[in-house]
């Protein structure tokens, strides 16, 4: 854990962040699908 990047560092280089704490499986699946489709079409 001592070598893991800080959350702020991980977020700075993330292409997308999905906050899934309150999402149902269906909502999470829909967000992931939308991200994937966006990446595949050039977002």
Query: In the chain, what are the domain boundaries?
Result: 18-43
Q: Residue 21: pLDDT above 60?
A: yes
Q: Measure the CA–CA gap between 15 and 3, rounded to whole angstroms.
A: 22
Task: Check: CB of residue 23 under 8 Å from CB of residue 31.
Answer: yes
pLDDT reading at 13 higher than 60: yes
pLDDT given for residue 20 in this prediction: 87
Region of residue 10 (phi > 0: left; psi between -120 and 50: alpha; otherwise: beta): alpha
Q: Whole-model pTM above 0.85?
A: no
Between the CA of residue 42 and those of 36, 38, 39, what are the distances in Å?
A: 10, 6, 5
């Amino acid at each position: 854990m001592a070598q893991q990047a800080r959350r702020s560092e991980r977020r700075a280089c993330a292409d997308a962040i999905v906050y899934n704490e309150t999402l149902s499986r269906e909502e999470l699946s829909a967000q992931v699908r939308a991200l994937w489709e966006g990446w595949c079409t050039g977002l």
